[in-house]
Structure 1
Amino acid sequence: MKTIILIPPSEGKADGGKNKPLKSVSGITADLIKAINEAEPKKLYGLKAKALENAIAVNKEVLESKTMPAIERYTGVVYDAIDYQTLKHKSDFDEKVLIVSGLFGLVRPTDLIPNYRLKIDKLKAAKLWLTSNSEQLKDKFIIDLLPQAHKKAVKYDHGIEVEFVLKKAGKKMPAGHQGKHIKGRFVRWLIESNVTDQTRFSEFTEDGYTWTGDTFLKEI
Structure 2
Amino acid sequence: MIVLLPPSETKHTGGDGPPLRIESLSCPELAPLRVSLVDELVELAADRAACRRTLGLSASQDAEIERNAALRNAPTMSAINRYTGVLYDALDIDSLRGAAAARALGRLAVASALFGLVRADDRIPAYRLSATSKLPGQPTLAARWRPLLEPVLARLAATELVVDLRSGSYAALGRLPNAVHVDVVAERTDGSRAVVSHFNKAHKGRLARVLATTRSEPNDAGAVAAIARRAGLTVERRGGQLTVVIPA
Normalising by the residue count of structure 1, what TM-score does the alignment of the two structures yield?
A: 0.89
Say whether 1:96 aligns with 2:114: no
The 4+ residue runs of structure 1 with deviation greater than 3 A are: 23-26, 205-209
Match of 2:74 among 62, 65, 68: 65
Please report how far the alpha carbon of residue 73 of structure 1 lies from its aligned counterpart in structure 2 after TM superposition: 1.0
Say whether 1:122 aligns with 2:133: yes
Superposed, 1:71-90 pairs within 5 Å as 71-88=80-97, 89-90=100-101
Q: Which residue of 2 aligns with 1:172?
A: 193
Superposed, 1:25-64 pairs within 5 Å as 26-36=31-41, 37-38=43-44, 40-51=50-61, 53-64=62-73
Q: Matched residues in 2 for 1:108 and 1:75: separation?
A: 16
Label 1:24 to 1:204 Cα distance change in 2 as closer, same or farther (>3 A). closer
Please report how far the alpha carbon of residue 192 of structure 1 lies from its aligned counterpart in structure 2 after TM superposition: 2.2
Say whether 1:217 aligns with 2:212: no
Please report how far the alpha carbon of residue 20 of structure 1 lies from its aligned counterpart in structure 2 after TM superposition: 1.0
Report the AA paired with residue 234 of structure 2. Answer: T
Label 1:210 to 1:23 Cα distance change in 2 as closer, same or farther (>3 A). closer
Structure 2: unaligned runs, 5 residues or longer: 24-30, 135-139
Give the % identical residues: 29
Report the AA paired with residue 192 of structure 2. Answer: K
8 Å contact kept, 2:14–2:76 = yes
Report the AA paired with residue 122 of structure 1. Answer: S
Label 1:136 to 1:74 Cα distance change in 2 as closer, same or farther (>3 A). same
Report the AA paired with residue 35 of structure 1. Answer: E
Q: Which residue of 1 aligns with 2:11?
A: 13
Please report how far the alpha carbon of residue 148 of structure 1 lies from its aligned counterpart in structure 2 after TM superposition: 0.4
Q: Matched residues in 2 for 1:23 and 1:164: separation?
A: 36
Superposed, 1:177-196 pairs within 5 Å as 177-193=198-214, 194-196=216-218
8 Å contact kept, 1:127–1:152 = no
Please report how far the alpha carbon of residue 32 of structure 1 lies from its aligned counterpart in structure 2 after TM superposition: 1.4
Say whether 1:198 aligns with 2:221: yes
Please report how far the alpha carbon of residue 50 of structure 1 lies from its aligned counterpart in structure 2 after TM superposition: 2.2
8 Å contact kept, 2:76–2:123 = yes
Please report how far the alpha carbon of residue 35 of structure 1 lies from its aligned counterpart in structure 2 after TM superposition: 2.9
Label 1:92 to 1:23 Cα distance change in 2 as closer, same or farther (>3 A). closer
Normalising by the residue count of structure 2, what TM-score does the alignment of the two structures yield?
A: 0.79
Report the AA paired with residue 180 of structure 2. Answer: I
Report the AA paired with residue 11 of structure 1. Answer: E
Q: Matched residues in 1 for 2:194 and 2:16: separation?
A: 42
